[in-house]
Amino acid sequence: MSDIILEAICRRGADVVLTDSRSLREPARTVFFALRTANNDGHKYIAELAARGVGLFVVEEIPDGVDGEFIKVDNTLAALQHTAEIYRSGLSARVVAVTGSKGKTIVKEWMAEAFALKGETSRSPRSWNSQIGVPLSLLGVSQTAEFAVIEAGISMPGEMARLERMIRPEVVVITGIEELRPAEGYEDYAAKCSEKLLLARNARAVVYQASIQEAVDRSVPPSVMKIAVEVPPSADWMQHDSLLAREALRLLGAELPDDVVRPLRTRLDASDGVNNCTIITDRFTCDSFSLTSALDFMMRRRTAGRRVTVILDRLRDCDCDRMPQIDGADRVIYVGNGGLTAEQFRAEVSVGDFSDELILAKGEEGGVVSEFAEQLQARHHETVLEVNLDAIVHNFNHFRALLKPSTGIVAMVKASGYGAGAYELAKTLQSQGAAYLAVAVVDEGEELRRNGITMPIMALNPKVTNYDSLFSNRLEPEVFSFDMLDEIIREGAKRGVTGYPVHIKFDTGMHRLGFLESDIDSLCRRLLATEVVTVASVFSHLATADCLDMDDYTMGQLNMFTSICERMRAGLGYAFKRHVLNSAGIARFPQWQFEMVRLGISLYGVDTISVPETRGLRTVSTLRSIIISVKDWPAGTSIGYGRRTILDRDSKVATVPVGYADGLDRHLGNRVGKVWVNGALCPILGNICMDACMIDITDAPGAETGSSVEFFGENLPVSDVSDLLGTIPYEILTSVSPRVKRVYYRE
């Protein structure tokens, strides 16, 4: 069947392989594989794609009434992978595969750039290294390429064999294998190493750090040349990765130029810009290959009424007089490739030229476009809250794996996404297939609707005042009292509303808000007497799901909730969705998941219960800043207002521009709290000021002006900070000031 697919692709000239309908750019050249995943089904988008000009589809079911050429297979993912395998067998390129726990993308980029000096080279876009990304990468390799560098990544046992069959690498580079993490699913570290080393089982050679020699001897066949690279203990990551890359390149007659060995910004950042603009900054390798994914990231954030602008620095792989065409952009400003020179750009383009636009600025670090992207930022405060959108996806899918496929997830984005900002999170969660978003107030929901969020939204506000906004934006309210129900019915009737979805809340033990069990008969009578509203769901709130010693109380709530729902269904005569589990409840009481669950704090990577089911969550929000001043002070020196901290040793004291106006709690001063600098925890000294604080960096190796300072995040869990203050992580996350710039990124 894969031969038939490849023949159809060649016959139609469909050299763009698509698995995500949102990334459609060139319909006439596209073949669409309708993948079924845990959260979506590509078959739903076939009619839309056909209407937009796509003519070739690989499907598991042929739709009725849609024009196009359809190739029916048993499994579209397997067909995609086998098609890539067959295509790879026809390539003459010398193929290198890169895998490992970290550093894959950097090594792949360096090697591809080095190979490009010898001949035509293809490579995986960005970090396309998954069961879907690898076949897409292989199908993108040019038939005339002399070299190809393919990145391979796995997330669980059993995946590498499929990648190896597709890639069939001549040389494999292992960038390193980290220690086993509890959620990875391997029996032990040896099993993890063996899985990754499967990539080298048919290779000519494998290059690796000498520290994994035992695993290589155990897992790699004797027929494979084994090249161990001794990495000095003092080597930093760039030295480590460059040693491996140089050795692998040598095997294929290439060298790694010194100017290629440089940090690469693999992230796509999105943040607020000047004059109501949104700025997407991409400092990744500047070529047409990586431009495609940057445009895709931008176009998914496009909303009605905003111009789309692309500012593009010189592309490495385009002739100086050939500018790439960018569909969907209202304005494109080129630097190089026949456009403006860097000097002309600086002279002719200013920040004031942009207003109410979505702007993609793509240019490598240090270039004129990268510099201009900084000027477009709305805030130039050194302090930022970094929000990892990949981590949101990971955590969402982590909990989805604990649920039945039919169970919907209500994603909590109230309080501006627990301080992270609701819009970018909502876009991400909408793409992942969340059943609902939940906001606290109507204003939050209205803002999401304005920015193009179309999925169902619950408004968990205890009091609605703007019913025009509620109804016009299709925000579905929580109803917890008869007064509130009567008001919604009255306001809906005025506007001719019928069948409006509401969510009925019962108090089963939180004793905060909600109808009581004794209200059921009256509630059903009132609901049946009106056509204005219909019950979309009935729910309650667990008070002690994260209290492992109070399960009797939780079970009492769960049993009461079940009884309430049974009586409500009997009284109303129709079905509705039920939801009672929060983050802790999903992990601990999955048998009570009903039709929906509500995912809150754990969506943001905070584990409040530390049970096996919650291990492996990824940090979403990181609050960081930089050191702006360093001074050496002798023992006995006082630091800060009121001389509350007296140094008990000669110390190196740094000032950081983060204060209580940024959300840093003053109770963390005077050595109560610590921050993370260069791998060391550094105490906060003196009273915290409005806009700054002082820290002791005496024991932080290499800390200096410009060094990064983490207040919570990957290295310093927000729960550690909340424990110091005797509070909860929610308070720390939601206390970050609006003046702190939010930067959203995906790797």
SS3 letters across 90-137: CCCCEEEEEECCCCHHHHHHHHHHHHHCCCCEEECCCCCCCCCHHHHH
Q: The tokens 């059943």 sit on which residue?
A: 435
Residues 311-340 as b or e (16 or more Cβ within 10 Å = b): bbbbbeebeeeebbebeebeebbbbbbebb
pLDDT over 80 (residue 126): no
- Position 381 confidence tier, pLDDT thresholds 50, 70, 90: low
Distances (CA, A) of 404 to 228, 540, 575, 590, 594: 45, 20, 19, 9, 10
Which is nearest to 455 in space by CA: 426, 485, 490? Answer: 426
Tens of pLDDT, residue by residue over 206-257, are 999 998 999 999 999 999 999 999 988 888 888 899 999 999 999 999 999 9
Q: What tokens were used for 148?
A: 């190809």
- Taking Cα atoms as reference points, which of 462, 455, 468, 471 lies closest to residue 422? 455
Tell me how far CA of residue 267 lies from CA of 161, 178, 365, in angstroms: 29, 22, 12
From residue 2, alpha-carbon distances to 13, 52, 74, 88 in Å are 16, 25, 12, 12
Distance CA 101, CA 261 (A): 20
Q: Is 652 a catalytic residue?
A: no
Rounded mean pLDDT, 611-624 = 93
Segment among 48-62, 451-465, 656-670 with least mean pLDDT: 451-465
Are 426 and 413 in contact by the 8 Å Cβ rule? The answer is yes
Provide the pLDDT for residue 184.
65
Taking the C-alpha atoms of residue 685 and residue 708, their distance in angstroms, rounded to an integer, is 17
3-class secondary structure per residue, 251-288: HCCCCCCHHHCCCCCCCEEEEEEHHHCEEEEECCCCCH
pLDDT of residue 724: 96
Joined together, the tokens standing for residue 434 give 């969340």
Quick check: 414 pLDDT over 70?
A: yes
Q: Which of 690, 479, 729 is nearest to 609 (CA)?
A: 729
Give the other-Cβ count within 10 Å of 137's Cβ. Answer: 28
Question: So what's the pLDDT on residue 261?
Answer: 85
d(CA 203, CA 563): 62
d(CA 87, CA 165): 12
**What pLDDT, on a 0 to 100 scale, did the predictor assign at position 251?**
94
What are 41's strand-pairing partners?
36
Whether pLDDT at 424 is above 90: no
**pLDDT value, residue 24:** 83
Task: Give yes or no: 414 in active site.
Answer: yes
| Per-residue confidence (pLDDT) for residue 673, from 0 to 100 | 97
Q: Which of 104, 196, 414, 674 is catalytic?
A: 414
What does the pLDDT average to over 177-185?
Answer: 70
326 within 8 A of 315, measured Cβ to Cβ:
no
The pLDDT of residue 681 is above 70: yes
pLDDT per residue over 15-70, tens digit each?
A: 889 998 878 878 998 999 999 986 678 998 999 999 999 999 999 999 999 999 99
Structure tokens belonging to residue 217 = 């001897």
What are the tens digits of pLDDT across the range 263-295?
877 788 888 888 888 899 988 877 776 787 788
Beta strands in 283-330 (DSSP E): 307-312
Average the pLDDT over 189-206 and give the result: 93
pLDDT per residue over 707-741, tens digit each? 999 999 999 999 999 999 999 999 999 999 998 98
The 3-state DSSP class for residue 216 equals: helix
Q: What is the mean pLDDT of residues 91-114?
A: 93
**Residues 653 and 428: beta-carbon distance below 8 Å:** no
Region class of 158: left (phi > 0), else alpha (psi between -120 and 50), else beta: left
The residue type at 176 = G
DSSP assignments along 563-607, one per residue: HHHHHHHHHHSS--EEE---HHHHHH-GGG--SEEEE-GGGGT--
Q: What is the pLDDT of residue 256?
A: 92
Q: What is the pLDDT of residue 475?
A: 95
Query: Smallest Cα–Cα separation from 153: which of 103, 110, 80?
Result: 103
Give the pLDDT confidence of 308-361 residue by residue, as tens digits.
999 998 876 665 455 566 778 899 998 887 788 889 988 888 888 898 999 999
pLDDT at 462: 62
Output the pLDDT for position 324: 61
SS3 5: helix
Q: Give the H/E segment covering residue 41.
A: none
pLDDT of residue 732: 96
Express as a percent the part of the chain with pLDDT over 70. 97
Instruction: Please provide the average confidence, as pLDDT, over all residues in the chain.
Output: 91
Q: Show the tokens assigned to 437.
A: 């978003």
pLDDT, mean of residues 363-380: 81
The pTM of the whole model exceeds 0.75 = no
Decide if pLDDT at 107 tops 90: yes
Q: Is 222 exposed, middle or buried (0-12, 13-18, 19+ CB in 10 A)?
A: exposed
- Kindly tell me if the per-residue pLDDT of 625 is higher than 80: yes
Secondary structure E strands in 303-406: 307-312, 331-334, 357-362, 384-388
* Winning range, highest mean pLDDT, from 41-50, 169-178, 666-675: 666-675
Contact 479, 504 (CB under 8 A): yes
Per-residue pLDDT averaged across 573-586, rounded? 96
